[in-house]
Amino acid sequence: MRLHHFAVATAVATFCLLIAGGLVSTTESGLACPDWPLCEGKLIPKMVDGKQFEHTHRLVASAVATMTFVLAAVIFRRRREDRVLKRLAAAAAVLVVAQALLGALTVKLALPAWVSSVHQATAMAFFCTVVSLAFLTWQRMPGFRAKAIAFETRARLQRWILPVIALAYLQVCIGAVMRHTRGGLACGFDFPLCLGKIWPLNAHLGVQVHMLHRLGGVLVAGAVIALAAAILRKRVGTPALRASAVLAAVLVVVQIGLGIATILASRELITMTVHSSLGAALLANLVGIYWLACPSAPPALSAVGLGREAGASMETA
């Protein structure tokens, strides 16, 4: 139980880190601290002129990295036979190191757009990993019982959910590129058109990235709502799965509204921060839907389950 609680705490801390990182980008405080890992040569500088955002982000990142290493160490020590959990823990440790190095590179190279974009993409991949660890440690708690889902239904759900997660992740990455290339207002305050056109193909790269992000938002919204409708219509899985599906549909609609508000409000700080944070929350929710629909049992229980399935098949034959 303690392992699961610590995994949840790590996921929550990572979400706070994403919010802090979004504030750094939104307030353009990325170079408030000209050096790394200290800030103006100090562990705790005077928190003014953007340092309150940039250095707070670093401090939260240090806490998240420490929690990730502790979580991975405990999993490797206590769950030696659990390959799925160990692989995810190792991936989380690698990703958090890569994230720290990308953060340092961002400062050393003075915020190149491609490094900042990869930095955010890696952050989202890391977040999905720790959210998965939170779900898997819960599913390995004593007394956990997942509602049985037919093998064919589970396979169908996997084919539906994984592409939706990939599409949402791609949308987050395009949003990162748009933000770091300053394409958020590339179309001005024009909506739903852009520069008076449906899609100005002859416009500069910033406009094209902005329009891709708009298109991605529509595609993600359609995919998430269709997924939620399918889960609710077939009434598969647990009430938690169906509630998560409804939440995903609500989140994606709110996210579309916040995207529009970001344009109309001239990239206002609170609106942008909530928009980016809600995107991460939606992605985490989709990852949770996957693990609720396709729970992963520990090795010993998996073996028992396989034996029962084999016995049932022989009886049927």
Say if residue 110's pLDDT is above 60: yes
Q: Considering the chain, what percentage of its residues have pLDDT values greater than 90?
A: 51
pLDDT tens per residue, range 183-230: 888 888 888 889 889 999 888 888 999 999 999 999 999 999 999 998
* CA 168 – CA 187 distance, rounded (Å): 23
Q: DSSP letter string over 84-129?
A: HHHHHHHHHHHHHHHHHHHHHHHHHTT--HHHHHHHHHHHHHHHHH
pLDDT tens per residue, range 45-71: 889 888 999 999 999 999 999 999 999
For CA atoms 71, 77, 83, 87, the dihedral sign is positive
**Residue spans per domain, the chain:** 1-144, 147-294
What is the pLDDT at residue 67?
Answer: 97
What is the pLDDT at residue 66?
Answer: 97
141-145, 150-154, 302-306, range with the lowest pLDDT: 302-306
Say if residue 266's pLDDT is above 50: yes
Residue 294 — pLDDT band, cuts 50, 70, 90? Answer: confident
